[in-house]
Amino acid sequence: MKKSFALLLTLVCLFTIGVAATAGTTQAALTFTIADQILFVGKTTVLKPKLDNIKEKASYGYTSSDEGVATISRKGTVKAVAPGTTIITCAATVSAGTYEASYILTVLQPVKGITLVKPLTMAVGTTYALDAGIKPADATIKTLKWSSSKESVVTVDENGIIAAHAKGSATITAAATDGSKKKATITVTVKEFDAVIFSKQGATVSYTTGNGMFGINYTAKNDRIDYSSGDGDTVILTPLEPGVDTFTISVTNYLTRGTKRYPFSVYIAPDALTFEDDAAAMAMERTRFSAAMATMYELAYEKKGPEYSIFLLIDEDAKIVRNFSSHDMGVLVGTYKGDFSKEVNVHYKGGDMHNFLRFGAEDDNSTLMLKDMDGFEYEYIRTEVSEAIEVLNQDGYKDITSY
């Protein structure tokens, strides 16, 4: 759709809108103002012709090459009727002859409304494909521009796929690109959950019973999950419906009459009922996250060692650093202020760890110097963002929340 719209604009820009002609020794040129070369269905624009270098009053006539697309009145009022293109021509007649000028008018059916799902809750490390409803169904340009108010929490790609990176909330906006200025927003809240269900394989939660005689009761608050006993003191949770649920295991000791409850927050991924096992589901999640991170991070650095490498992924807009290695699946997430032309202090979430980063040279970002808490410095060499993301998107990698 983007290519077709660009083609229409190119045609409009290339088409000649004025014609000059010579009568005797006088060169005349017919010009007119054009309110809009692109019109929405039902809208109008008025042409105001002018015949330069001719003092004689001219009579004007107008035609549209396709009146099913747009009509034009005797006074030069153009009315858009239906989507398409038509050639609007003005002819000015004087005693010396007739002069013409034409232009291509493009008529669009505008977007009149965009709808999104209700406020959305997601789990850290998951994705969600937003489905925007566009009215009317025959809108000419349905391409939307997506944006996130806080990319450190969630990012959204050009297809409306959200990737949840960290706890928090953000506003996702879907805006029409046809000039109608229509848009819709949705609030996305990202949380940490005790269990995340990606497929029909489900997820396992555990509890303790202690000694003695006891009774066990299971409840799912929103009835979005089913459950069955696993090995030992475990329960296997399987999906019934995407969304959020709270699963509670109540263990009652018959001797003491006391009851201990184990509540678990559970997130059921949107595609959990589509995939038979986690392998296929996680492959899709990694693909989506790779695409999201490729647009999120501008810089990547690597420190190669004899057995493994350490990587730094940097989002300069959100001021976020992800620090991880090729042999350890824990990912440190840090924030900073300033820029790397001067030394910045990066504080990592989940504890009191921090380090200092700066470019190897003030105007050269090919190397990055890291100084640890003991004052030792290490040089990191710039690498491709895609290479660092490929390591990060392997099975098991996850952000460290405490250390």
- Here the tokens at position 98 are 């007739």
Structure tokens at 16: 């000649």
DSSP 58: P
What mean pLDDT is predicted for residues 362-373? 93
Decide: 195 and 266 in contact? Cβ < 8 Å.
yes
The string of DSSP letters for 316-337 reads TTTTEEEEEESS--EEEEEE--
pLDDT for 1: 38
User: What confidence tier does 141 reach under pLDDT thresholds 50, 70, 90?
Assistant: very high
Q: How confident is the model at residue 35 (pLDDT cuts 50, 70, 90)?
A: low
Position 16 confidence tier, pLDDT thresholds 50, 70, 90: very low
Nearest Cα residue to 354 out of 325, 375, 378, 379:
375
- Can 113-191 and 297-399 be said to share one CATH topology? no
What pLDDT is stored for residue 12 in this prediction?
36
70-89 per-position pLDDT tens digit? 999 999 999 999 999 999 99
Query: What was the pLDDT predicted at 34?
Result: 65
pLDDT of residue 289: 83
Percent of the chain with pLDDT over 70: 91
Q: Is the pLDDT of residue 22 over 70?
A: no
| pTM strictly above 0.85 | no
φ, ψ dihedrals at 45, nearest 5°: -145, 155
- pLDDT for the residue numbered 125: 87
Higher per-residue pLDDT: 30 or 175: 175
Most confident of 13-17, 143-147, 335-339: 143-147
In this predicted structure, the answer to whether residue 164 has a pLDDT above a threshold of 60 is yes
Confirm if 143 and 129 have CB atoms less than 8 A apart.
Answer: no
Averaged pLDDT, 307-328: 92
Residues 195-268, CATH architecture: Sandwich (2.60)
The CA distances from residue 330 to 152, 160, 322, 398, 402, in Å, are 18, 29, 10, 6, 10
Does residue 5 surpass a pLDDT of 90? no
Q: What is the mean pLDDT of the chain?
A: 88
Q: Which position has the higher pLDDT, 17 or 87?
A: 87
Lowest mean pLDDT among 15-24, 34-43, 77-86: 15-24
What pLDDT, on a 0 to 100 scale, did the predictor assign at position 7?
A: 34
Q: Over 80: is that where the pLDDT of 403 sits?
A: no
Residue 24 predicted with pLDDT over 70: no
Q: What is the pLDDT of residue 52?
A: 84
Q: Which of 44-58, 87-101, 338-352 has the lowest mean pLDDT?
A: 44-58
Q: Round to whole Å and give the CA distance between 319 and 315.
A: 6
Total number of residues shown for the chain: 403
Question: Which has more pLDDT, 321 or 21?
Answer: 321
Tell me which CATH code domain 297-399 carries: 2.40.128
**pLDDT score recorded for residue 56:** 87
Residue 192: pLDDT band with limits 50, 70, 90: very high
Cα dihedral 209→210→214→218 (10° resolution): -10
Structural domain boundaries in the chain: 2-108, 113-191, 195-268, 297-399
Tokens of 65: 């090459």
Task: Give pLDDT, residue 328.
Answer: 86
The domain made up of 2-108 has a fold known as Immunoglobulin-like (2.60.40)
| pLDDT of residue 300 exceeding 80 | yes
Structurally, at CATH architecture level, domain 113-191 sits in: Sandwich (2.60)
Phi, psi of 176 (to 5 degrees): -65, 150
Quick one: pLDDT band at residue 33, thresholds 50, 70, 90? low
Average pLDDT of span 240-245? 96
